[in-house]
Amino acid sequence: MGIPHLTTFLRPYASLESLVGQAAVIDGPALCYHIYYLCLSQRPSARNAFEAAPSYEELGNAAIQRLNGLRESGVSIQKIYFDGYLPPSKLEVRLERLRGLTKRLNDYYQANPVPCRLAIVAGETDPGYLFARESIRSSLTTLPPNPFLVPAIIDALGRSERYKSLAEVVPGEADLYCARYSKLSGTIIFTGDSDLLIHDLGADGAVSFFKDIEASLDSEPLTLRSLVYHPATIAGRLTLPKPHGLHALAFELIKDSHGTFKKLLAQATTLKAINADECEYVEFSKEYKSLPLDLTPDRSEFSPRFLEVLQKLDPRISEYVMQFPSLAKCAGRTPTAAKSEMDSRHVFLPFLLDCPARTNAWVVSTSLRQLAYGLIKNIVPKAEQQFDVFEHRRQSNINGKGVQLPNLENIPEACVALVNLIDKIHLKLPALSLLDRWIAFIVCQDVEWSSSVGRAVLSNCVSQGSLNVDLGPSDSRHCNWDIIQFLAQVQSTFYSLRMLQQIIRLSVFHHDSTSCPEVMTMLHHRLETLPQLGEIPDLRSVASLVGKIRDMSMVKAAYEILGIEDEKSPELQESSKRAKKKRRMGEGQTQPSNSKKKLNNPFALLDAE
């Protein structure tokens, strides 16, 4: 989150330095958001935030180019760290951030009855923009960033021979690992977070902000320079008392964000705020407590392949897994932290850009995530197998949405059902490409969920044109909120499959080849064909997506595969008419409750917990 005004106050004490020959460690999440806003700055003709959103391919390419630019300027990139776990102490901050994202989406929805044009604006190709300082129109930042921004860039780094060994999802907060590396080696940390100024970086550690890096575009090779903050040196120049250093000034800012620098510095040198609120200062300082210099994971129980998979999880998936003490200990988290987990596991799902007036787009794919969460029971000790999962997404319930999990003995049956569905789709639609088979799977999920709660199938509405959306190529054609909702549902199901893919991969490699249940191996094999995040459909490909669903009769095939009566049948239409009549007359008020129960418990027939 950063300390308000800290960077502004300390800026005069930073030095402008050449980056040639410098060694650096990179704050991965900060890199991702910096790249996102750089790409936004290259869309001057976009009318709004939806149209300006970069593709995942573009984001990945821009991240690689940015890192290449640093290397070509003589910077030696040592590590790129990504958050793989955030502690329970951050829960309130994250909930507040989620409320802020929800408000931004709601405000956009209220202000834009028509969300965007279907013709998405392409980014510029000027190579200098990666180190330029261009402003971004406020209208392009009204929506939250792309939901899979961070994992998509991690994917891109993983495909790079140059950077795949440097990128690491750590079993904690990235800034703590950046600070530890900088303290040990005296390297610069590239970040966008002013919090790193008050971490313990030792005598030689330094911080530079991405926004301060500037290039000399008229020189060959490319040369870069930046403002560099040396916290230990700055604390000495300001005569801040040891051992508090910049902590003292930062705490004064926390207590009085409107005070002048002169006033707050004088108070910091006498430890005024620290002496007045010692208990609060202790809590404040805990957030910046250094990691042990020697982090030796306990990996005696696990195979090297399992450990490799554990270290390559998406950040949000890693965060779920790291809430289990045995796996946290294996990954290298400190024993104290590993033992301090609650019985409730909290999962902050990526924030989807869906329609606020409709059911959250994550709901359609809940059953896939239920299975993913439950699969952890195959890995952790029996003492860790009793737990609750609460998902946090766009919703009014600040406590999260409870997710019911399958019993351990019923997980194989759920895996069988998924394997059978995937195989039936392949047999029914053999001409489809791998990507299109997964689109057909998503249509099946939509049909199954919609039928279970008595709603119209959105895939069918979109593909049959009943939403009155013109999907032609003209720049004047517009997209409505139903298309936005449809795409969000597609994306939620893809990512839920990805969660299942990564956790079942963990489960498979936790067992040896003889002890892993065959059906789990079969499901693992099928999920390995999932596309990368950059291939997930977006507004650029929506016309093609809808055309495929229509031309390949995917909705009709889904009804036949699932053995569900088509919603266009006379019987279902009559049932729908009766339901609508009841709602108009105020009857049948218990039905939504029953439907909701059915939706949240797809493993009911499997005797779920």
The pLDDT value given to residue 257: 86
CA 325 – CA 329 distance, rounded (Å) = 6
CA 487 – CA 148 distance, rounded (Å) = 14
The answer to whether the CB of 449 falls within 8 A of the CB of 363 is yes
Where residue 583 falls among pLDDT bands split at 50, 70, 90?
Answer: very low
The answer to whether the CB of 216 falls within 8 A of the CB of 240 is no
Type of residue at 377: K
The answer to whether the CB of 341 falls within 8 A of the CB of 324 is yes
Q: What are phi and psi of 506, to 5 degrees?
A: -60, -45
Which domains, ranges and CATH numbers included, belong to the chain? 22-231 (3.40.50.1010), 304-606 (no CATH)
Tokens coding 533? 């995040």
CA 224 to chain centre: 31
CA 11 to chain centre: 31
Type of residue at 212: D
CA 240 – CA 242 distance, rounded (Å) = 7
The pLDDT value given to residue 94: 93
The 3-state DSSP class for residue 223 equals strand
Of the chain, the percentage scoring pLDDT greater than 70 comes to 84
Taking each helix axis as running N to C, give the angle between helix 411-428 and helix 434-453, from 0 to 180 degrees, rounded to the nearest 10: 120
CA 492 – CA 400 distance, rounded (Å) = 17
Whether the predicted pLDDT of 303 surpasses 70:
yes
The 3-state DSSP class for residue 574 equals helix
CA 133 – CA 123 distance, rounded (Å) = 16
Tens-place pLDDT, residues 97-144: 999 999 999 999 999 999 988 766 565 545 566 777 778 999 999 999
DSSP code for 401: E
Tens-place pLDDT, residues 528-576: 999 999 999 998 888 889 999 999 999 999 999 999 987 664 444 444 4
Which residues, listed in sequence order, are joined to residue 24 by a DSSP beta bridge?
77, 188
Name which of 20, 65, 59, 15 is nearest 37 in CA terms.
Answer: 59
Name which of 189, 148, 192, 160 is nearest 64 in CA terms.
Answer: 160
The 3-state DSSP class for residue 405 equals coil
Query: What is the average per-residue pLDDT within 281-303?
Result: 80
The answer to whether the CB of 123 falls within 8 A of the CB of 42 is yes
Q: Give Dmax (Cα) for the chain.
A: 82
Query: What is the average per-residue pLDDT within 166-177?
Result: 96
- DSSP, residue by residue, 502-565: HHHHHHHHHS-TTTS-HHHHHHHHHHTTPPPGGGS--GGGHHHHHHHHHHTTHHHHHHHHHT--
Phi-psi bin for 239: left (phi > 0), alpha (psi -120 to 50), beta?
left
- For residue 249, the surrounding DSSP H or E stretch is helix 246-255
Going 361 to 483 to 56 to 356, the CA torsion angle's sign is: negative
16-28 burial string, b = 16+ CB within 10 Å, else e? ebebeebebbbbb
Per-residue CA distances from 178 to 166, 172, 227, 441 (Å): 13, 11, 18, 41
The answer to whether the CB of 94 falls within 8 A of the CB of 102 is no
- For residue 489, the surrounding DSSP H or E stretch is helix 481-510
pTM of the model: 0.90
The pLDDT value given to residue 516: 77
The pLDDT value given to residue 338: 53
